[in-house]
């Protein structure tokens, strides 16, 4: 059955929920990251580029309990700069090891836990950090066995398809043959779609939030400028900055640029307007003066504390390369989608201009052409691309209904 629904919500001034403390009955509590070696020098992982990557180690986390027939597993791939720490509080974090996790729970804590949309009393949730990133999985900052030094830009190019094959290998090692669902937003949404295409027999339900089968030219352009900001930093040193001064200014500028794409014009007007940080024309300066400048500067400063500049180059390039039609349908999205056997849900957000609703509608029309069961929801919001993380109540209602098999979604005006 196919449902085309527009779900409209009143604008919310801020997040509707707060983080659950680790002792809350709704929290998954204290968590520990796990690591698994997926490839060795004897048996390397062959990337889409043909490059043999070894050793290959990935970091992952799980929440809930896998049932006896292993039918309750849900995989949640992360977005661009996310990680495997989806929910709960990192028991291994300290002032010297991932200190930001002392202040914040997992990036989708509002959705994963007892009684939450991804109910850990019912489901077994898995998250994995993608290779090429910098949160425990093999990436540019890892040691290259050929040189004994960090890879830097010698790390091979990697694709969304590579990530999904790695994720499938992880599930194989966990003894999970079939997923009840895969769900991701943004770059995680592209991974979800790739799962439905690459492993159609292994995915029962596929949820794609704030993503489409290809990134627009505008999105490619923003990623290109961000990479240039990093590579033109005086300390970039062709990617060989490990052990020295890092290209923090370039990485911060890249993050500031990206954050503009995550918001919306209307949302920025409401949140910041033209408010100033100092008296009106008290001092003509190029220093931070407007509230929106202060916000972006803060985002850049906090980002460089937790992310690696080379990793940013690689994960944005993987986002650029993803093209479901080109890979699976010889350029024809409808042909590509003949592979899909999952029940699909696609959620777009009205003010998202990184993956706009028009792209999602084209996505859904291609699914409909192949008579694939699909629920399409467009959420009315001022939060832009970040809405899949911020609109917790509305997104949570949709996920709960879809995961329970209730495909008839109520239209709220």
Res. 282 pLDDT band, cuts 50 70 90: low
The residue extents of the domains of the chain are: 3-215+323-403
Q: Which of 41, 71, 35, 65 is nearest to 53 (CA)?
A: 41
Rounded Cα distance between 24 and 210, Å, is 30
Q: Determine contact, residues 170/60, Cβ cutoff 8 Å.
A: yes
> Which is it for the CA torsion 162, 168, 171, 172, positive or negative?
negative
**Strand 112-113 to 118-119 pairing:** parallel
pLDDT tens digits along 352-407: 999 999 999 999 999 999 899 999 999 999 999 999 999 999 999 999 999 998 54
Residues taking part in catalysis? 186, 352, 385
Rounded Cα distance between 335 and 120, Å, is 36
Rounded Cα distance between 2 and 359, Å, is 18
What are the φ/ψ torsions at residue 113 (nearest 5 degrees)?
A: 155, 175
User: How many Cα atoms are found within 13 Å in the side-chain-facing hemisphere of 175?
Assistant: 6
CB atoms within 10 A of CB 189: 27
Please say if the pLDDT value at position 291 is more than 60. Answer: yes
Name which residue leads in pLDDT, 52 or 277. 52
**Strand 45-46 to 30-31 pairing:** unpaired
Please say if the pLDDT value at position 135 is more than 80. Answer: yes
pLDDT tens digits along 143-172: 999 999 999 999 999 999 999 999 999 999
Q: What is the mean pLDDT of residues 73-88?
A: 98
Q: Which of 14, 79, 10 is nearest to 262 (CA)?
A: 79
pLDDT tens digits along 213-223: 999 999 999 99
Rounded Cα distance between 105 and 85, Å, is 8
CA-based diameter of the chain, in Å?
Answer: 69
Q: Which of 130, 174, 327, 356 is nearest to 264 (CA)?
A: 356
- Give burial (CB, 10 Å; 0-12/13-18/19+) of 134: buried
Res. 279 pLDDT band, cuts 50 70 90: low
- Give the position of tokens 């989608």: 337
pLDDT tens digits along 34-63: 999 999 999 999 999 999 999 999 999 999
Assign domain 3-215+323-403 one CATH number from 3.40.50.1820, 3.40.50.10190, 3.50.50.60, 2.40.110.10: 3.40.50.1820
């Amino acid at each position: 059955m196919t449902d085309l629904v527009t779900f409209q919500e009143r604008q919310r001034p801020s997040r509707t929920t707060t983080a659950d403390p680790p002792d809350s009955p709704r929290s998954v509590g204290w968590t520990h990251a796990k690591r698994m070696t997926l490839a060795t020098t004897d048996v390397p992982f062959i990337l889409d580029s043909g490059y043999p990557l070894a050793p290959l180690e990935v970091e992952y986390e799980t929440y809930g309990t896998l049932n006896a027939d292993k039918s309750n597993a849900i995989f949640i791939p992360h977005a661009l700069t996310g990680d495997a720490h989806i929910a709960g509080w990192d028991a291994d974090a300290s002032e010297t090891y991932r200190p930001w996790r002392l202040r914040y729970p997992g990036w989708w804590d509002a959705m994963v836990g007892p009684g939450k949309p991804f109910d850990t009393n019912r489901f077994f949730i898995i998250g994995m950090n993608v290779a090429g990133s910098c949160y425990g999985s093999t990436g540019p900052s890892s040691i290259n066995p050929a040189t004994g030094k960090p890879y830097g830009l010698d790390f091979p190019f990697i694709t969304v398809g590579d990530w999904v094959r790695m994720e499938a290998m992880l599930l194989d090692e966990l003894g999970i043959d079939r997923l009840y669902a895969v769900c991701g937003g943004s770059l995680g949404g592209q991974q979800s779609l790739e799962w439905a295409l690459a492993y159609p027999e292994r995915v029962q339900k596929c949820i794609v939030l704030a993503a489409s089968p290809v990134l627009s030219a505008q999105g490619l352009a923003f990623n290109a400028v961000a990479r240039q900001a990093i590579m033109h930093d005086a300390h970039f040193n062709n990617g060989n900055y490990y052990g020295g001064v890092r290209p923090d200014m370039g990485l911060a500028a890249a993050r500031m640029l990206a954050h503009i794409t995550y918001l919306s014009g209307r949302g920025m007007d409401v949140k910041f307007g033209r408010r100033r940080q100092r008296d009106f024309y008290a001092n003509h300066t190029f220093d931070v003066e407007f509230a929106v400048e202060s916000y972006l500067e803060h985002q850049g400063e906090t980002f460089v504390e937790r992310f690696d500049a080379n990793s940013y180059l690689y994960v944005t390039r993987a986002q650029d390369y993803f093209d479901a039609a080109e890979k699976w349908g010889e350029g024809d999205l409808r042909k590509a989608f003949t592979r899909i056997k999952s029940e699909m849900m696609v959620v777009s957000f009205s003010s998202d201009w990184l993956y706009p609703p028009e792209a999602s509608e084209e996505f859904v029309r291609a699914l409909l052409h192949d008579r694939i069961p699909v629920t399409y929801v467009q959420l009315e919001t001022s939060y832009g691309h970040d809405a899949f993380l911020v609109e917790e109540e509305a997104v949570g209602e949709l996920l709960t209904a879809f995961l329970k098999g209730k495909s008839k979604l109520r239209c709220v005006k």
